[in-house]
């Protein structure tokens, strides 16, 4: 007897549409499949923690456009079960869905909550839950179901991705807003107090914005032009002050050198004059001493009998060749017509 293995793809989609309920306890929805296929006999069996009698609509899709629906209920052991004959070899998938709220028993509605508000977990999306598995019908040994991602799981993942993206976008927008506010304040400060430090800080903040801001850049260009003009004026002022100081120091140096030269020259002249005065003094003293030595005492002079001059000293060299020398009064010598000796007077 040939064995036919039916591997059935069971996509269990549980749409929990509940009416208002009084229960406030949450239900973390779970599923566990034990579905299998032997030959062409397919046995669907999914264990869940949904309340007993929860109505489930089951859709089976298979090869050659095979499609069949079953209205099932969760039994007292928490299983959703259904057996059927597979008509063709190939992959089968099953979708499970809860019926609308008004068709659910009141006991189920209370546990699920209003519109499934008590349901939680990875299989739940907007008050509904989904589950999926597959089986393949083929020759061979018994096959068991393989879990697949359900519609709700896919929606939940998409929601998580979208939520993460939204949070990331919101965070980026918040940061961008804060950066823009900081840049605007920095530009306003640079405009109010146009210093190089304020400009550099504002320029850094504007340049780091996630999006270019031409308005702020143009305002900074105006601020920079004003700063450059101010810096040039300050540089010119400092250069003028430096030159004036250099000129003052040069003038002081020149004046000091002039005064020093004048003092040096005056000292030289004074020294020369003092030296000359001293020489004159000494000469005068010497002359006076010589004159005092040669001046005849008591108008006494010395003459010869044949000479034509009178002498102040008997030792005058003009008397060296005289045969005889005698003293006489100045008056006597002058009366004789004698003249003063050029050596003595």
pLDDT tens readout for residues 53-91: 988 888 888 888 888 888 899 999 999 898 888 777 788
Output the pLDDT for position 22.
40
Q: 4-149 in CATH: which number?
A: 2.60.40
* Per-residue pLDDT reduced to its tens digit, 102-113: 678 988 888 888
Extended beta strands in the chain, E state: 4-9, 13-14, 27-28, 31-33, 36-38, 41-48, 55-62, 66-73, 79-85, 90-98, 119-120, 124-125, 128-130, 132-139, 143-144, 146-148, 300-303, 309-310, 326-329, 339-340
pTM for the model: 0.40
pLDDT of residue 310: 87
Domains of the chain, by residue range, sit at: 4-149, 162-228, 295-340
Using a pLDDT cut of 70, give the percent of the chain over it. 85
Q: What pLDDT is stored for residue 10 in this prediction?
A: 40
Mean pLDDT across 1-30 = 49
Residue 101's pLDDT is what? 66
Is pLDDT at 262 greater than 80 in this prediction?
A: yes
Q: What is the tens place of the pLDDT at every residue in 142-154?
A: 777 676 666 667 7
Find residue 43's DSSP bridge partners: 36, 83
- The two three-digit tokens of residue 296, written as one number: 């005849």
Q: Is pLDDT above 60 for 295?
A: no
Residue range 305-316, pLDDT digits in tens: 888 888 888 888
Look at residue 65 in the predicted model and tell me its pLDDT.
Answer: 85
Rounded mean pLDDT of 2-16? 40
Task: Judge whether residue 114 has pLDDT over 90.
Answer: no
Is pLDDT of 206 > 60? Answer: yes
Q: Which residue has the higher pLDDT, 116 or 250?
A: 250
Residue 8 has pLDDT above 50, yes or no: no
Query: What rounded mean pLDDT belongs to the chain?
Result: 81
Query: Is there a contact between 12 and 96 (Cβ–Cβ < 8 Å)?
Result: yes
What is the chain's percent helix, strand, coil content, to nearest 5? Answer: 45, 25, 30
Among 28, 35, 40, CA closest to 12: 35
31, pLDDT greater than 70: yes
Picking from 135, 41, 31, the residue whose alpha carbon sits closest to that of residue 79 is: 31
Please tell me the number of Cα atoms within 13 Å of 277 on its side-chain side: 6
Q: How confident is the model at residue 241 (pLDDT cuts 50, 70, 90)?
A: very high
pLDDT of residue 4: 40
Q: According to the model, what pLDDT value does residue 289 have? A: 64
Q: How many helices (H) and strands (E) does the chain have?
A: 5, 20
Which tokens go with 63? 């090869």
Q: What is the pLDDT of residue 246?
A: 92
Q: What pLDDT score was predicted for residue 16?
A: 39
Higher pLDDT, 49 or 288: 49
Examine the pLDDT at 11 and tell me if it is beyond 60.
Answer: no
**What does the pLDDT read at residue 148?**
67
pLDDT digits (tens, 9 = 90+) for 154-199: 766 777 777 788 889 899 999 999 999 999 999 999 999 999 999 9
Q: What is the pLDDT of residue 24?
A: 58
Residue 293 has pLDDT above 60, yes or no: no
Q: In the prediction, which pLDDT does 225 show?
A: 94
Contact 9, 91 (CB under 8 A): yes
């Amino acid at each position: 007897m040939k064995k036919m293995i039916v591997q059935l793809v069971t996509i269990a989609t549980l749409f929990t549409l509940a009416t208002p309920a009084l229960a406030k306890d949450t239900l973390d929805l779970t599923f566990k499949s034990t579905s299998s296929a032997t030959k062409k006999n397919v046995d669907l069996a999914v264990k869940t923690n949904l309340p007993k009698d929860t109505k489930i609509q089951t859709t089976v899709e298979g090869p050659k456009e095979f499609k069949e629906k079953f209205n099932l209920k969760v039994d007292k052991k928490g299983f959703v079960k259904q057996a059927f004959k597979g008509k063709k070899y190939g992959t089968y998938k099953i979708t499970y869905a809860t019926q609308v709220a008004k068709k659910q028993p009141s006991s189920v509605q209370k546990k699920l909550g209003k519109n499934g508000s008590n349901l939680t977990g990875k299989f739940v999306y907007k008050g509904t839950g989904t589950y999926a598995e597959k089986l393949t019908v083929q020759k061979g040994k018994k096959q068991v179901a393989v879990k697949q991602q359900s519609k709700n799981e896919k929606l939940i993942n998409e929601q998580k991705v979208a939520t993460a993206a939204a949070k990331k976008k919101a965070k980026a927008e918040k940061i961008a807003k804060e950066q823009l506010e900081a840049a605007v304040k920095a530009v306003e400060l640079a405009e109010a107090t146009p210093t190089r430090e304020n400009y550099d800080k504002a320029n850094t903040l504007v340049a780091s914005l996630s999006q270019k801001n031409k308005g702020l850049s143009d305002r900074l260009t105006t601020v920079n032009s004003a700063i450059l003009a101010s810096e040039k004026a300050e540089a010119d002022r400092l250069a003028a002050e430096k030159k004036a100081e250099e000129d003052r120091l040069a003038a002081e140096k020149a004046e000091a050198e002039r005064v020093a030269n004048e003092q040096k020259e005056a000292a030289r002249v004074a020294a020369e004059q003092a030296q000359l005065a001293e020489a004159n003094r000494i000469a005068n003293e010497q002359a006076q001493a010589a004159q005092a030595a040669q001046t005849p005492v008591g108008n006494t002079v010395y003459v010869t009998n044949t000479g034509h001059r009178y002498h102040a000293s008997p030792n005058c060299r003009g008397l060296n060749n005289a045969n005889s020398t005698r003293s006489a009064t100045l008056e006597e010598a002058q009366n004789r017509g004698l003249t003063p000796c050029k050596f003595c007077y």
